[in-house]
């Protein structure tokens, strides 16, 4: 006869402890061993939201999310609503009335936003006198969206025009100093066709081995764009240290990088390009930042730590994301990269 307790028994499965319990247990262990928390490099007090294999070596992510900083974040939220039809999700307001964090959407694209916090190194394009990166926003009607933004006060930098890669797009600058590349897919162009079309112009397209986008769009949503004085350094950082995959590399006649596409394994594209001093679209490097949402920030942190990169913010559990983990580092040319397991579970 089968024992009823055996019939009801469930297989033992590992369960992640509550963050508060993990922190308390860590404090007890450090006290018993006579260690200082500052001497322990590994972020052992930050349990992952989901159980994951401990042998993971390749980081995975869910999205690359632009994190904007404005001299007047409240005003910027209102402007993005007027110009782009943005929908605010929530905001975290400090005692001084400034936004410590806010989230909004334009269609399916997600953005983060905050006010300036100079003491933390968080400044806006207004204070810097320009921005070295751009938001590449895929829209359904680029001409209408472009005209709407200009009517709301944006500065047109490049009127919408058809491009060899199969999209029609234009570039503008919003009143808060951020550059937007509005893009509308108009035809499906393979990488081989894109490379062939580029042969007639000053720039050539180099297709990475095994890369293809035949039958599928580039990316739905946002591309982050980074400029570098030495773009080869930027490429090595995003690939060798962070783990991005090279898809497209376009060089100019002097060997500089005009355009590139590096894919984050969990979704999203970062562009690495050369900084040209007299190009108004490419302000100096070293002042931009990007936030990457990843299911395993611990793995990315270990890669960064092993590479000895400069740490801006040690791994910590954000107050607006209980149970999550995030950290920030700086690349060799001073650009800020933040990674976190943020899932939108914000609390005031």
Distance, in Å, from the CA atom of 60 to the CA atom of 44, rounded to the nearest integer, reads 20
338 beta partners: 291, 328
Residue range(s) defining the domain that contains residue 331: 61-340
Burial class of residue 148 (count of CB atoms within 10 Å of its CB; 0-12, 13-18, 19+): middle
**Residue 265 forms part of a structural domain:** yes
> Alpha carbon of 47 to those of 19, 26, 252, 289: distances in Å?
6, 11, 46, 26
Question: What's the pLDDT score for residue 267?
Answer: 81
Spatial separation of the C-alpha atoms in residues 21 and 259, rounded to whole Å: 48
Cβ atoms 92, 47 nearer than 8 A: no
Structural domain includes residue 346: no
**Domain presence at residue 28:** no
Q: Is residue 304 part of a domain?
A: yes
- pLDDT at residue number 5: 61
CB of 111 within 8 A of CB of 63? no
* Tally of domains within the chain: 1
User: 96-115 pLDDT, tens per residue?
Assistant: 889 999 999 998 889 999 99
Do 251 and 204 form a contact (C-beta atoms < 8 A)?
yes
Helix (H), strand (E) at residue 231 = helix 231-236
Q: Does 20 fall in a domain?
A: no
> What are the structure tokens assigned to 303, written together?
């890669």
Q: CA torsion 129→110→152→147, rounded to 10°?
A: 110
In a domain, 6, yes or no: no
* Assigned domain for 180 exists: yes
Averaged in consecutive runs of 10 residues, what is the pLDDT profile of the chain (348 residues)? 60 59 69 63 40 45 81 95 93 90 90 91 89 86 95 95 90 94 88 82 70 48 78 91 89 77 86 73 71 89 93 88 88 91 60
- How would you class 242 by CB atoms within 10 Å of its CB: exposed for 0-12, middle for 13-18, buried for 19 or more? buried
Number of neighbours of residue 160 by Cβ within 10 angstroms? 22
Q: Is 89 exposed, middle or buried, given 0-12, 13-18 or 19+ CB atoms closer than 10 A?
A: middle
CATH number at residue 119: 3.10.180.10
CA distance 228 to 204: 19
What's the pLDDT score for residue 285? 75
Residue from 173, 163, 223, 171 nearest 193 by CA: 163
Beta strand segments in 95-150, E: 99-106, 109-115, 134-138
- For residues 272 and 54, give the distance between their C-alpha atoms in angstroms, rounded to a whole number: 31
- State the pLDDT at residue 188: 84
In a domain, 11, yes or no: no
Closest to 194 in 3D by CA, of 222, 170, 164, 173: 164
Round to whole Å and give the CA distance between 302 and 224. Answer: 23
Place of tokens 């991005």: 244
Tell me how far apart the alpha carbons of residues 273 and 333 are, in angstroms, rounded to a whole number.
13
């Amino acid at each position: 006869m089968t024992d009823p307790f055996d019939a009801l028994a469930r297989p033992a499965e590992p369960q992640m402890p509550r963050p508060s319990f993990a922190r308390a247990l860590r404090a007890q262990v450090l006290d018993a061993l006579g260690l200082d928390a500052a001497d322990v490099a590994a972020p052992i007090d930050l349990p992952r939201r989901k159980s994951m294999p401990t042998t993971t070596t390749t980081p995975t992510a869910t999205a690359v999310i632009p994190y904007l900083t404005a001299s007047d974040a409240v005003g910027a939220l209102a402007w993005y609503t007027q110009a782009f039809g943005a929908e605010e999700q929530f905001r975290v307001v400090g005692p001084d009335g400034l936004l410590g964090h806010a989230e909004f959407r334009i269609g399916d694209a997600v953005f983060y936003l905050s006010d300036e916090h100079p003491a933390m190194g968080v400044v806006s394009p207004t204070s810097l006198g320009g921005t070295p990166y751009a938001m590449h926003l895929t829209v359904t009607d680029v001409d209408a969206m472009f005209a709407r933004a200009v009517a709301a006060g944006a500065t047109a930098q490049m009127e919408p025009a058809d491009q060899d890669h199969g999209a029609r797009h234009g570039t503008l600058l919003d009143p808060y100093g951020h550059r937007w590349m509005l893009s509308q897919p108009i035809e499906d162009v393979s990488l081989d066709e894109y490379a062939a079309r580029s042969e007639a112009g000053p720039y050539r397209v180099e297709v990475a081995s095994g890369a293809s986008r035949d039958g599928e769009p580039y990316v739905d949503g946002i591309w982050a764009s980074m400029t570098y004085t030495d773009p080869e350094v930027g490429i090595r950082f995003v690939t060798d240290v962070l783990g991005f995959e090279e898809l497209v590399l376009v060089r100019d006649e002097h060997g500089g990088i005009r355009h590139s596409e590096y894919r984050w394994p969990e979704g999203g594209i970062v562009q690495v390009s050369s900084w040209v001093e007299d190009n108004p679209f490419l302000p100096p490097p070293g002042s931009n930042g990007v936030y990457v949402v990843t299911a395993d920030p611990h793995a990315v942190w270990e890669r960064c730590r092993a590479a000895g990169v400069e740490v801006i913010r040690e791994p910590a559990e954000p107050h607006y994301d209980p149970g999550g983990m995030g950290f920030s580092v700086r690349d060799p040319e001073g650009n800020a990269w933040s990674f976190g397991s943020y899932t939108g579970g914000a609390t005031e």
